[in-house]
Structure 1
Amino acid sequence: MPSTTDRPGTRAVPALTAAAAAADFILILTFAAIGRDAHARGETIIGVLSTAWPFLGGAAVTWLLLRLWRRPLALWPAGVAVWLGTVAIGMALRALTGQTVVLPFVVVALLSLAVFLLGYRLIIAVVIRLRARRRA
């Protein structure tokens, strides 16, 4: 668990940045696997990666353009940025490569990835605040 010096509002240590990036990566893969399973497309590794790559690309571009490594666990702006960037760029990449982009899928992606990408950041922020209150 990060110390209070590593809380979302401060500069992150490299290990914390790597953990946040890995969490985003794993949660985006989880989103793709759940979606494939819901549509009975199977959960082969190649299948999950083919569904996930546009969103992983969107997350990577967002991380790089907005330099999210500076405060990777902050709900705002990092969490919101990676969530919206993942969906927007991911959908654009899907459209450019001839994959399906329909309104219901966009809505499901927005909601699911909000829960995943914002959810763990919110939980971490709450835990850190509770620990800080107990110490005070």
Structure 2
Amino acid sequence: MRLALSAFLLDAAFVLAFVVIGRVNHAEGLTPTGVALTLWPFAAALVAGWLVILPWRPWRKPKALLTNGWIVWVITVCGGSQLRDAAGEGSPFSFFLVTAVFLGATLLGWRGLALLAGRRRRAAAE
């Protein structure tokens, strides 16, 4: 269970980083209200993604980390963009692409690195 909580918190940190970097790059400021308004659609979608994978007990199958990551990534990107659009913030295709690339690199990237590190540790132990 600690693995799942750690993975969720790392995912949440990357979603927050995406929002902060975006707000800084667009000179929107880092006020708590502004960050919260930009963050909520993606945070809600991230939680939804995690709720979808929980029945598969991701904490019991570390090898499924990357597979579960794809599900979380797709739901976070698509759901966050849809919620943002529904809230009237808009989600142009260029924004969607940047969102997909950044969150793909981070949400899937750390999982890939964790799997490689686990394989190397197992290989070294043999």
Fold similarity call, TM over 0.5: yes
Instruction: State the alpha-carbon separation in 1 of the partners of residues 103 and 46 from structure 2.
Output: 11
**What is residue 50 of structure 2 aligned with on the other side?**
63
**What is residue 116 of structure 2 aligned with on the other side?**
126
Residue 69 of structure 1: how far off its partner (Å) = 6.8
Q: What secondary structure is seen at the aligned counterpart in 2 of 1:67?
A: helix
Which of 66, 77, 83 is residue 75 of structure 1 equivalent to?
A: 66
Which of 87, 99, 124 is residue 89 of structure 2 equivalent to?
A: 99
- Does the CA contact (< 8 Å) of 2:46 and 2:72 recur in 1? yes
- Does the CA contact (< 8 Å) of 2:19 and 2:35 recur in 1? yes
Runs of 4+ with >6 A deviation: none
Residue 45 of structure 1: how far off its partner (Å) = 2.5
Structure with the higher helix share, 1 or 2: 2
Q: What secondary structure is seen at the aligned counterpart in 2 of 1:32?
A: helix
The number of residue pairs the alignment matches comes to: 122
| Structure 2 unaligned residues grouped into runs of 5+ | none
Instruction: Give the alignment's Cα RMSD to 1 decimal.
Output: 1.4
TM-score of the superposed pair, with normalisation by structure 2: 0.91
Which of 83, 104, 109 is residue 99 of structure 2 equivalent to?
A: 109
| Matched-pair identity in % | 34
Instruction: State the alpha-carbon separation in 1 of the partners of residues 55 and 75 from structure 2.
Output: 12
Residue 47 of structure 1: how far off its partner (Å) = 1.6
| Structure 1 unaligned residues grouped into runs of 5+ | 1-13
Letter in 2 for 1:28: V
